[in-house]
Structure 1
Amino acid sequence: MLDSNFQHAVAALLTIVSLYGIGLLASFVIGKKVIDVYEKILARLPLVQTIYGATKRFLHTISQPPVTGQRVVLISFPSSEMKAVGFITKIMRDKNTGKQLAAVYVPNSPNPTSGYIEILSTENVILTDWTTKETMTFVVTGGTNAPESLRFSQKTKQQEPTDQR
């Protein structure tokens, strides 16, 4: 009889080899067809279709460069003293005032596919110079992997120093 530790090691090795094989297969045309068949099967399952489809669309959206401006932002969340990293997913307009509003997705750590959607005035959004990849790494690692500097506050004309001679 085989030792259970040996069985676990063999199972882990087979899992790794299988995942590598699937990745290798996916890089070829035949692999793409297999993935298409797999996605069609998933599309037939009611709950899985909703979650998988939404997650796939979300990841596709944030991986694309934004139409205008920077996509990665900071917003005051959950309080005005704290900032959360988010992605602008859509710019809208307030029907009453005409002000621009930003739909900002705030991902949870370490699973960025779950999070919050906040709608706020674009005046309350702090643009960053982070790329989507840097931000996702920051979120997944719980903030341990971050650039050295960050603009934490919104610069307004009132805050800029004036030259008084």
Structure 2
Amino acid sequence: MPSFRKWLLAGLLVLAPLIITLWVLEWVVSTLDQTLQILPSHWHPDELLGVHIPGLGVIFALLVVLIIGGLASNFIGNRLVTWWHALLHRIPIVRSIYSGVKQVSDTLFSEKGNAFRKALLIEWPHEGMWTIGFLTGVPAGDVLGKLQGQPGGNAETDEFLSVYVPTTPNPTGGYFVMVRRSACQELAMSVDEALTYIVSMGVIVPGSTKKPQVKTLAASAPASSS
């Protein structure tokens, strides 16, 4: 029975990441293949070739993105994009959804954005407890004025950072906090390494191939004097 359990766990450790990876890839490819539906039916590769070739939708979607990016990069295309944004901002319900999505995408994908550029060690949610967060920017405007006016602070020297604190093992959920720059320590690990550290719940340590050894509470507790 111990050998059976050991082999079962070893097999799951090998197959589970592979199966999940293949499932995600299959979902991405099948989803992007649906972009071929925008073509007329007589232009579909299935009709022209007489056989379905998975992945053609991925190539087609990539070409569409590159063409739109190329058109938007010149003067005329930029004016059209500006006109399109202005049009969407005039539609009541669409305006609120589109504005929020565009701000997030501009922050994440823009070359000038600073989202998730640095991994930080911050003391949160209370003193004596530490976690890893990602720098997303700096507060400004009325928010910064309120922060600098907090008791015990110095309005002239206080600097604050906007930090995203992800949850584990799912980093897509988390908390947005604003903390003093002096309370943040920049880590010498990349964003990818920090995400791996968070997703693995501290099991995979960046820069180390060995699993950290954790002492039991009984072993780590100081011995009581008689």
Greater Cα radius of gyration, structure 1 or 2 = 2
Q: Give the Cα–Cα distance (whole angstroms) in 1 for the partners of residues 27 and 59 of structure 2.
A: 14
**Which runs of 5 or more structure 1 residues have no equivalent in the other structure?**
1-11, 150-165
Which residue does 1:133 correspond to in 2? 192
1:24 to 59, 75, 83: 59
Q: Give the Cα–Cα distance (whole angstroms) in 1 for the partners of residues 170 and 67 of structure 2.
A: 28
1:123 to 182, 193, 211: 182
Shift of 1:54: 4.6
- Which has the bigger relative contact order, CA under 8 A and spacing at least 6? 1
Q: Give the Cα–Cα distance (whole angstroms) in 2 for the partners of residues 87 and 139 of structure 1.
A: 11
Count of equivalent residues: 131
**Partner amino acid for 1:105?**
Y
**Which runs of 5 or more structure 2 residues have no equivalent in the other structure?**
1-22, 33-54, 73-83, 150-154, 209-226
Which residue does 2:120 correspond to in 1? 73
Alignment of 1:7-156 (within 5 A): 15=27, 17-18=29-30, 19=32, 20-28=55-63, 30-33=64-67, 45=94, 49=98, 52-60=101-109, 71-91=118-138, 94=148, 96-148=155-207
Query: Identity over aligned residues, as a percent?
Result: 22
Instruction: Say which structure is richer in helix.
Output: 2
Distance 1:60 1:34, change over 3 A: closer
Distance 1:78 1:142, change over 3 A: same
Q: Give the Cα–Cα distance (whole angstroms) in 2 for the partners of residues 61 and 107 of structure 1.
A: 21
Q: Is the 8 A contact 1:62 1:132 kept in 2?
A: no
Shift of 1:132: 1.6
Shift of 1:47: 6.7
Which residue does 2:19 correspond to in 1? none
**Partner amino acid for 1:118?**
V
Q: Is the 8 A contact 2:121 2:187 kept in 1?
A: yes
What RMSD over aligned residues (CA atoms) do the two structures have, in Å? 4.1
Shift of 1:79: 2.3
Distance 1:111 1:121, change over 3 A: same
